[in-house]
Amino acid sequence: MAELEVGANLPWLDYGQDFGASAWRPQGGVAVPERRERLRAELGRIADSGATLVRLWLLGDGRAGLVEDDALRPLGLDDHVFPDFDCAIAALAEAGLRAHVVLTDFLWFAPLQVENGVRLGGRREQVRDPAQRAELLSLVFAPIAARYGQADQVAGWDLLNEPEWATLGVGTTDPSRAISKAEMREYLGELAVLFHARARQPLSVGLASAQWLSLLDGLPLDLVQVHWYETHDSLAALARPVAPSAPGLPAPFLGEFPTQGASLPAERLLEIARDAGYSAALAWSSLATDPATDQQACLNGLSRFTSGRDFAERARA
């Protein structure tokens, strides 16, 4: 049985504000000294748990880091995104961790809200409109792929977090916060081609559940990534054996599983994922505040699992 690589979601210090500036934080994200120290400290705690991977979110719903016109048409990245990303790369290297970097969240497609001068969501037309989509790809994502496409600390690129919730007829029936399945597939396919041309790291899309794998059928992705929550899937679904989708590819990886609200603790869920054949599993979460997160249970579960694995390896030796 292949060994399970384990890690944690460190999705954000503050949602959508870690990379780039906004009216809320004009000084930028994690390159600001106080925030850099918070990031270093949290990565250190994750590394101390025995983890080797984290899952970091880059642009979230677009509230920071973007240059746009008044109609939310994409014009590029602001001057803080790269210094913030450089800081994150250095902190990952210091901690001995690698990151799956999530480009955007499904809230990118949510109806626009403006709070104290910051525009949250409302970027559906950047994907639906072919001209805007071309600008989004060339002006926002191509520079990211070109600059960090060879970085050792980037374990992979997650093109979109849980696209089901923004795909009409798949995870939502609300047309105000979604695009069609055909539009979503076209967008993800074009984004994958762009990254393959500029980056060597593998590509995935973080599906909310394995039940929606068909959304990605035939797209040029390298890794199958699914999430598991007992609110959507049973323990039997988590335990169902998985295998590589093609020869030479790794087995699917579990991009999220809860550390609160499940019927079993994190270390037991890791054991089930290992026995099912997943290549990696990343706990949700470190630092988020939601019903699926228990920050201490996250780190304790990783520590217990990796300590037990190390003990078994020593016993075999």
User: Percent of the chain, pLDDT > 70?
Assistant: 97
For residue 190, count other CB atoms closer than 10 A to its CB: 17
Q: Which residue has the tokens 């967008």?
A: 187
Q: What is the model's pLDDT at position 247?
A: 82
DSSP E strands in the chain: the ranges are 5-9, 53-57, 66-68, 74-77, 98-102, 113-115, 118-120, 154-161, 203-207, 225-227, 253-258, 280-284
280-284 vs 98-102, strand pairing mode: unpaired
For residue 52, count other CB atoms closer than 10 A to its CB: 16
Alpha carbons within 13 A on the beta-carbon side of 11: 23
**Please, which pLDDT band fits residue 248 given cuts at 50, 70 and 90?**
confident
Find out whether 106 and 159 touch, Cβ atoms under 8 Å: no
> Average pLDDT over the chain, rounded to whole?
95
Q: Which of 104-108, 167-171, 206-210, 304-308 has the lowest mean pLDDT?
A: 304-308
Write down all domains in the chain, each with its CATH number in brackets: 5-316 (3.20.20.80)
Q: What is the model's pLDDT at position 315?
A: 35
pLDDT tens readout for residues 69-113: 999 999 999 999 999 999 999 999 999 999 999 999 999 999 999
Find out whether 176 and 124 touch, Cβ atoms under 8 Å: no
Residues 6+ positions from 109 with CB-CB distance below 8 Å: 121, 123, 124, 127, 166, 177, 178, 179
Alpha carbons within 13 A on the beta-carbon side of 200: 4
Question: By CB neighbour count within 10 A (0-12 exposed, 13-18 middle, 19+ buried), where does 114 fall?
Answer: exposed
For residue 255, count other CB atoms closer than 10 A to its CB: 29
Does position 267 have pLDDT exceeding 60, yes or no? yes
Q: Return d(Cα 211, Cα 11) in angstroms, integer.
A: 23
Q: What is the model's pLDDT at position 2?
A: 65
- Which residues sit opposite 54 in a β-bridge? 8, 99
Q: What is the model's pLDDT at position 102?
A: 98
Q: Which residue has the tokens 């099912």?
A: 276
Does position 63 have pLDDT exceeding 60, yes or no? yes
Q: What is the model's pLDDT at position 316?
A: 40
Q: Which of 52-61, 156-165, 242-251 has the lowest mean pLDDT?
A: 242-251
**Please, which pLDDT band fits residue 308 given cuts at 50, 70 and 90?**
confident
Q: Return d(Cα 169, Cα 196) in angstroms, integer.
A: 29
Q: What is the model's pLDDT at position 309?
A: 60
- Which residues sit opposite 280 in a β-bridge? 5
